[in-house]
Amino acid sequence: MKIKAKFPASTGANFYSELRKRVSSDFAERGVGINGNFLMWIKLIVFLTIFIALYLLILLSGMSVWALSILTLALGVVSAFIGFNICHDAIHGSFSESKRINRVLSMLFHLIGANPYVWNITHNIVHHTYTNIAGHDEDIEIAPGLIRVCRDEKLRPHQRFQHLYAFPLYGLASLSWVFRKDYKKFFQHTIGSRKNLHPRIEYFNLFFYKALYYFIFILLPVLYMDLSWWMVLSGFLLLHLAQGITMGLVFQLAHVVQGTEFPIADDTGNMKEAWAEHQIRTTANFAPHSALASFFLGGLNRQIEHHLFPKICHIHYGRISVIVKQTALDFGLPYHENKTFLSALRSHYVLLKELGNS
């Protein structure tokens, strides 16, 4: 039986207590709320408009195969951006102060082939609690047996090449979501150490919205477009390769880079450090000062702030990152960040190579 990891209560000088006090004071002084502002609604309109326009162009324009391929790749990337910028915040309850709006916007996750209910369990509850803990955080189980990201995992001979084949595998991430991962997570007995007990309506939602997605992105193009069925399926694969590698890289660069830790619990399930200290040791930022990265990646380039304050909308991460970094340094804690996307990518590559050969 898997022992549930437990974090100790903070004692003495409390990093998280002081950090929350400083961040709350900043919001109070500026007189703003922690949820999204008008910029979030602009992002929603922009990304949804591009998504719908690309889909209709692919379905109705009758363009050449090469032009359709380019549009399909773009649609895959924009699908990931919708997940980053709209669905992610909505499922965390940070897009709007209205629970109804958050619930409605979280349903857009179905548009990119994923189930918001399963995501809430695997990401919001399990990943955000047990970040980088092998056997608990299933988000670091990228491709079990193929990719090794933790030194406590068994090293297999073929993994000495994982720094080469990992990146193509990331391209299959969203395809796995669509056809395998959501079903597997939904019906397995536990996720991490959490037992799966689902409301009846979620059984219906899982199968209904998956079927709707298959209809919109596979069956309708087969029926309507003047293309053979195998060309449509090739386009569907192309869509998810673009979507998967975009999502895969963004999530891996936040946790699987040099400097981040992969702590393990002792024999009784106890962790060494309190939850907030654990989060800051296991998470990294990348391209934190890039306006383009912040806009397109929904603040996921500032994962430290997101993990410590998941209920705060990502539109505020730029400002509170200054407070988080200073508070971490005041308490003698690390603050991992790679200045650019490329430096984070290199760090991830080096770590994969090291873990595949150590």
Residue 226 in this model has a pLDDT that exceeds 60: yes
pLDDT of residue 279: 95
Which pairs from 326-333 meet CB under 8 Å and 24+ separation? 327/15, 327/18, 327/19, 327/22, 328/15, 328/280, 330/18, 331/13, 331/15, 331/18, 333/15, 333/277, 333/280, 333/281
Assigned domain for 5 exists: no
Range of the domain at 305: 15-357
DSSP state of 108: G
Of the pLDDT bands very low, low, confident and very high (cuts 50, 70, 90), residue 278 is very high
| Number of domains, the chain | 1
Query: Is 3 contained in some domain?
Result: no
Instruction: Report whether 310 contacts 320 (CB < 8 A).
Output: no
pLDDT band at 188 (very low <50, low <70, confident <90, very high): confident
**Alpha-carbon distance 3 to 108, whole Å?**
35
User: What pTM was computed for the model?
Assistant: 0.92
DSSP annotation of 288 reads T
Contact between 304 and 19 under an 8 Å Cβ cutoff? The reply is no
Q: What token pair was written down for 203?
A: 């059984």
2 has pLDDT over 70 = no
> Does residue 240 lie in a domain region?
yes
Does residue 328 belong to any structural domain of this protein? yes
Residue 10, in any domain of the structure = no
Is the pLDDT at 192 greater than 90? The verdict is: no
The pLDDT tens digits for 83-130 are 999 999 999 999 999 999 999 999 999 999 999 999 999 988 889 988
Average model confidence (pLDDT) for the chain? 92
Residue 8 lies inside a defined structural domain of this protein: no
Residue 1, pLDDT score = 47
Q: In the predicted model, what is the mean pLDDT of residues 311-315?
A: 96
Higher pLDDT, 204 or 2: 204
Determine the pLDDT at residue 40: 96
Mean pLDDT of 184-194: 81
- Separation between Cα atoms, residue 9 and residue 275, nearest integer Å: 8
Average pLDDT over residues 173-191: 89
Residue 146, pLDDT score? 85
DSSP SS3 for 76: helix
pLDDT of 12 reads 52
Residue 2 in domain: no
Residue 7 lies in a domain: no
Q: What is the pLDDT of residues 250-275, one digit of tens each?
A: 999 999 999 999 988 888 888 988 99
Q: Which residues share a beta bridge with 17?
A: none
| Confidence at 233, pLDDT banded by 50, 70, 90 | very high
Closest to 152 measured CA to CA, from 355, 357, 341: 355
CB 298 within 8 A of CB 89: yes
> pLDDT-based confidence at 13, cuts 50/70/90?
low
